């Protein structure tokens, strides 16, 4: 593949979602990604429904996190398997793993051994709650991390914690891990040495608390769930109109005055004159706005708000999102030729580079489909003396 990381080899020992998502991101940037799977396969191959294919045995979950990779099967508990991974480590730039703390060491691939095999290797290690500390060895799954890291306390209607619909802790860990890898590769150009990048589901969620975090650490105010409305700005949220709901975000005083004028609300009365006052009277403001919005349908209000330059939008289901011309214009859907499913559409990468043409993506691989190809590539690299970049 072509791209900014076109000369980088990634050895992906991870499974499920966080690590594979990080590896997929690097693959989207052009890296050569070799996914090492146990002969039974990444467990996400069995996660569903839904499943696809003539035998209904291809997990759409797996398809979401494994494009632009090759798959080889290796049993790390055998001498033969460990020897093959050692050979691959010597020819790789990056290794990604999300085993529980200590598992890789027990398999004979602790950090010291990896850097003995390849001093320039960048290692990305993703754990549930961190590799050290009093609870460093805990296993971590997305929903557990969402709860432990406070995200569920901020989500949903007031009074009851809700998980975020997407596996956001896993995905954020993958994103943070990928940008850590890129930083480590940049540092390696200066030092000549690889390093270990560590993140976790816990760290990745706490790392995006943003203003919710400072609300407590600086302001002493404990954030709570606000349903479909912002925790600090009003009006900013989802509102009912004649035929459903729309979202309106008045992020500054000028936008608020435009909304107020459109809805025939006096923006200067004391309870609405500043954001501080509007937030204090938010329930009353929402009620007054929704009484006015009930006069027309969504299309009317979205057109009127757009003409005023006020940020507003529909609330789309995923089928509507994927049929939206704007989504397609941004390269957010890619088509690949799957060996069993034929031509399929996948959610695409969120980055574009002006100096690089749109990449041609490869489909998520069948289990072990590239055993021979990877062995041939490895033998060629070893014969030529090829080393990581």
| Active-site annotation, residues | 170
Residue 301, both tokens: 């209000």
H or E segment at 117? helix 111-117
Question: Half-sphere exposure of 49 toward its Cβ, with a 13 Å CA cutoff?
Answer: 4
Residue 203, both tokens: 């760290």
Residue 242, both tokens: 């004649």
What DSSP state is assigned to residue 243?
T
- Bridge partners of 64? none
Please report how the helices 298-308 and 253-262 are oriented relative to each other, as an axis angle in degrees rounded to 10: 140
* Nearest-angstrom CA–CA distance, 136 and 130: 5
Buried b (16+ CB within 10 A) or exposed e, 9-47: bbbbbbbbbbbbbbbbbbbbbbbbbbbbbbeebbebbee
Q: What is the sign of the dihedral through the CA atoms of 224, 230, 233 and 235?
A: negative
3-state SS, residue 196 = strand
Number of residues assigned to the chain:
389
CA distances from 177 to 98, 122, 139, 156, 192 (A): 11, 11, 18, 28, 20
* Nearest-angstrom CA–CA distance, 247 and 36: 44
CA distances from 328 to 36, 319, 320, 335, 346 (A): 32, 13, 12, 11, 12
In the block, residue with structure tokens 């992020």:
251
Q: How many CB atoms are closer than 10 A to CB 298? A: 19
Residues contacting 359, CB < 8 A, separation 6+: 1, 2, 3, 28, 30, 349
* Nearest-angstrom CA–CA distance, 116 and 386: 17
Residue 60, both tokens: 């759409």
């Amino acid at each position: 593949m072509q791209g900014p990381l076109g000369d980088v080899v990634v050895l992906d020992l991870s499974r499920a979602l966080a690590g594979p998502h990080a590896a997929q991101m690097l693959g989207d940037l052009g890296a050569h990604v070799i996914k090492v799977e146990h002969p039974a396969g990444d467990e996400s191959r069995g996660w569903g429904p839904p499943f696809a294919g003539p035998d209904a045995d291809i997990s759409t979950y797996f398809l979401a996190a494994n494009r632009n990779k090759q798959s080889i099967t290796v049993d790390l508990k055998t001498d033969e398997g460990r020897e093959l991974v050692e050979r691959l480590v010597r020819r790789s730039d990056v290794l990604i793993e999300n085993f529980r703390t200590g598992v890789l060491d027990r398999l004979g691939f602790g950090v010291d051994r990896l850097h003995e095999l390849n001093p320039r290797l960048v290692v990305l290690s993703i754990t549930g709650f961190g590799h050290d500390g009093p609870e460093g060895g805990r296993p971590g799954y997305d929903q557990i991390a969402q709860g432990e890291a406070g995200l569920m306390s901020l989500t949903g209607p007031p009074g009851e914690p809700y998980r975020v619909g997407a596996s956001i802790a896993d995905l954020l860990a993958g994103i943070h891990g990928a940008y850590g890898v890129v930083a480590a590769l940049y540092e390696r150009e200066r030092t000549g040495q690889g390093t270990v990048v560590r993140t976790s589901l816990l760290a990745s969620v706490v790392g995006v608390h943003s203003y919710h975090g400072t609300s407590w650490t600086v302001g002493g105010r404990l954030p709570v769930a606000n349903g479909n409305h912002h925790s600090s700005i009003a009006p900013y949220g989802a509102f009912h109109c004649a035929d459903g709901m729309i979202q309106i975000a008045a992020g500054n005083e000028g936008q608020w005055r435009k909304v107020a004028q459109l809805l025939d609300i006096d923006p200067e009365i004391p309870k609405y004159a500043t954001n501080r006052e509007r937030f204090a009277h938010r329930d009353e403001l929402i009620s007054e706005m929704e009484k006015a919005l009930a006069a027309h349908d969504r299309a009317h209000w979205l057109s009127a708000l757009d003409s005023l330059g006020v940020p507003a939008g529909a609330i789309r289901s995923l089928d509507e999102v994927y049929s939206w011309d704007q989504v397609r214009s941004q390269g957010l859907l890619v088509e690949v030729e799957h060996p069993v499913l034929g031509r399929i559409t996948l959610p695409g990468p969120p980055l574009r580079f002006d100096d690089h043409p749109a990449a041609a993506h490869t489909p998520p691989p069948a289990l072990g489909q590239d055993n021979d190809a990877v062995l041939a590539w490895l033998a060629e690299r070893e014969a030529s003396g090829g080393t990581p970049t």
